[in-house]
Amino acid sequence: MQTFHPHHVTFLQHPRLPINLFPRAAIPAVHSCRRRRLSSLSASTINHIDNLPAAAAAADFDDYQLLFSSQPAESVEPLQLLAVEGVLPADFPCGTYYLVGPDMISDSRGSTVNPLDGHGYLRSFHFGGSGKVMYMARYVETEAVREEREEATGKWRFRRAGIFSKLKAQRVTKDPSLLKNVANTTVLSWGGRLFCLWEGGHPYEIEPSTLATVGPADLIGAVVKIYTNNTCMLYIFLLSAGILGMPPMRTLSHYKIDAKRNMLLVLSCDVEDMFLPNSAFTFYEFDGNFNLKQKKRFLILDKLLIHDWAFTDTYYVLTGNRTKLNAPGILPFVSGLAPLMSTVSLNPSRPTTPIYLLPRLGDERNPARDWRIPVEAPSQFWTSHVGNAFEEKHGSGNTEIKIQASVCSYQWFSFKKLFGYDWESEKLDPSFMNVGKEELPHLVQISIMLNANGVCCWSSVVNSSSSWNEPTDFPIINPSNSGQRNKFLYASTTSGIRRLLPYFPFDSVIKLDCFDGVVKSWWSGSRRFVGEPMFVSKRTGDDDEDGYIIVVEVKQYAVFKKRCYLVVLDAKRVGHDDAVVAKMEVPEHLTFPFGFHGFWVDR
């Protein structure tokens, strides 16, 4: 296993990639690469990479397709994973790592959907002590799964479109609601209950030990909306809830846990906001027994699309992604000719980014600061994921709010081509994820200085590290420090070694020192890729590197062959040759595509 230290050594720069990679016969020959600061790989490895044949480009293309292939098999009974490298240390905590993601994106009739619309596949890795890891995997039995998977044969036939996909007319069900809840985005364990969440509807509750689906769960409570004096609003609501098949208020897939107060924070949006020029956000806080302790609703006169968010001791923090209604796209959507997201367009009309600081604690009627008016960060960006946010008090009485996030440019982000999927061709084009390095997701730190009255004095946006400028996403921290000052941030990133796909899929994990910007890295290896990292704390103190990083690694080799591993890294040793503590192999017949987001539960 090799490691690299990107802030120290010069390596290779990759040329801008061609836009169209289809068909495979059109894959261009590999050209020479330029030098860049990357890693401490040996000279022999550098020479090997520099002389890779054009066939390697074709392998890159095949690798990308396999990463988003479907896995129909399930593991209802626990299977023990075999360690192919190292052993789990005696102090590794007992608990379970849950990971959900889309593992059914192609059906038996050749229809392919965006990975974001693939059916949720829940995996569990149970660490029970004595170095044993037991594995299970099951599909979340949503209504859509029961409709689209034939019970007798196990074959899949897509009948409903997803938010980012469309289906041919003959594949669409007669049900008037066009969308389906796929429960594929995040996992939540709270109050002894387990849930799989999705952006457009209710979470699905799961039985933790068997992964059997219990059914949809309304975490935020039933909502009755009354529009007695507004016929237009009533029509919009009925259109949204009826045709979209969404509940009146949709629970966002990203939640937050305030470890300091042992509170679960959940965010919901009004379903009709999809067609309105404003955004309504409701925050809920639950104690450890799932008792609702606080509920706050905010109406913002700006059309925002929020995927991830943050909190501090005092504020709920929304980094606003500005959007607008694409009215010409409504009719094609209703007619089944285009997906729902064709009705939404990015709104890059302003050169800044709105940061809304919504009062979590204290009086929201503070006359000195109107929460309805955002802090305008001095650059335009689209927020992908937030790692953490916290407050720092200064001797002058000022408060500085720091937000650590992964952001990309409006020029690159496209609802139509996320993960390279094009809803017109129903194909995955990896070039979209590998063109324009500066525009792809990368880590930034946003700072906002408030005076004693809560009024903004200044704001800034800077790269999190001057020594690391590779595309990076899925930032995480030791969850014990969520909402509090953290020293280290971990994330998935790229080594840049691959010729055709230098930036995505990710193949490395970085550890960023937020104090001095130093980055240390672990590289998974050639034709190996990693998903979102997860921090498992030893809980022996407040040290936010005192624990382990677990990450799923997918290895591609030969022709359309792959293996999946669960890799355990020592968080303190990332950047060193002995970072890998153990690696467990998933049985060949159960290898799976990438997941999205996971959750660690201590036993």
Rounded distance between C-alpha atoms, residue 404 and residue 386, angstroms: 6
Instruction: Provide the residue count of the chain.
Output: 603
Cα–Cα distance for residue pair 41/3, rounded to 1 Å: 7
Q: Give CA–CA dist 590/264, Å, rounded.
A: 33
Q: What is the pLDDT of residues 313-335, one digit of tens each?
A: 999 999 999 999 988 888 888 77
Q: What are phi and psi of 56, to 5 degrees?
A: -65, -30
Beta bridge partners of 311: 316
Q: In 252-288, which positions are buried (b, 16+ CB within 10 angstroms) versus exposed (e)?
A: bbbbbbbeeeebbbbbbbbbbbbbeeebbbbbbbbee
Residue 57: band (very low, low, confident or very high) from pLDDT cuts 50, 70, 90:
low
Q: Residue 156: name the closest of 164, 138, 144 by CA.
A: 144
pLDDT in tens, 421-470: 988 888 888 889 998 788 999 999 999 999 988 899 999 999 998 889 89
- Can you tell me the distance from the alpha carbon of 317 to that of 405, in angstroms, rounded to the nearest whole number? 12
Alpha-carbon dihedral 359, 365, 368, 372, rounded to 10 degrees: 60
Q: Which residues are annotated as a binding site for Fe cation?
A: 307, 385, 597
Q: For 58-65, what is the mean pLDDT?
A: 75
Instruction: Answer whether residue 233 shows pLDDT above 50.
Output: yes
Work out the pLDDT band at 292, boundaries 50, 70, 90: very high
CA-based torsion, 134, 140, 141, 146: positive or negative: negative
DSSP-based three-state secondary structure for 237: helix
Indicate the annotated binding residues.
307, 385, 597
Inter-residue contact 303 to 279 (CB < 8 Å): yes
Whether the per-residue pLDDT at 603 is higher than 50: the answer is: yes
Which pair of structure tokens corresponds to residue 446? 């946003």
- Give whole-number Cα distances, 501 to 19, 25, 409, 569, 589, in Å: 12, 17, 19, 25, 27
1 pLDDT above the threshold of 60: no
Q: Which residue has the higher pLDDT, 337 or 47?
A: 337
Helix-strand-coil split of the chain, %, nearest 5: 15, 35, 50
Measure the CA–CA gap between 140 and 180, rounded to whole angstroms: 13
- Could you tell me which residues come within 8 angstroms of residue 287 by beta carbon, excluding any fewer than 6 positions away? 262, 263, 264, 293
- What is the mean predicted confidence (pLDDT) over 534-542? 81
Q: Is the pLDDT of residue 229 over 70?
A: no
User: What share of the chain in percent tops pLDDT 90?
Assistant: 60
At residue 159 the predicted structure's pLDDT band, cuts being 50, 70 and 90, is confident
Residues 501, 434 contacting (CB under 8 angstroms): yes
Identify residue 584 by its one-letter amino acid code.
M
What pLDDT is stored for residue 334 in this prediction?
74
* Contact indicator for 509, 489 with CB cutoff of 8 Å: no
88, 568 contact by CB (below 8 A): yes
Place of tokens 């709270």: 190
Indicate the pTM of the whole model.
0.88
d(CA 48, CA 71): 34
Between 45 and 577, the more confident residue is 577
Identify the CA nearest to 503 among candidates 3, 15, 9: 15
Give the C-alpha separation, 456 to 398, whole Å. 10
> Tokens in use for 523?
């590289």
d(CA 261, CA 268): 21
Each residue's pLDDT tens digit, 542-582? 678 999 999 999 988 765 678 999 999 999 999 999 999 99
Is residue 37 within 8 A of residue 400, CB to CB? The reply is: no
- CB neighbours (10 Å) of residue 559? 7
Give the single-character DSSP code of 112: B
Among 130, 222, 86, 12, smallest CA distance to 583 is for 86
- Could you tell me which residue, 287 or 32, shows the higher pLDDT? 287
Looking up tokens 């192999």 gives: 585
pLDDT at residue 173 is higher than 60:
no
Q: HEC states along 339-405? A: CHHHHEEECCCCCCEEEEEEECCCCCCCCCCCCCCCEEECCCCEEEEEEEEEEEECCCCCEEEEEEE
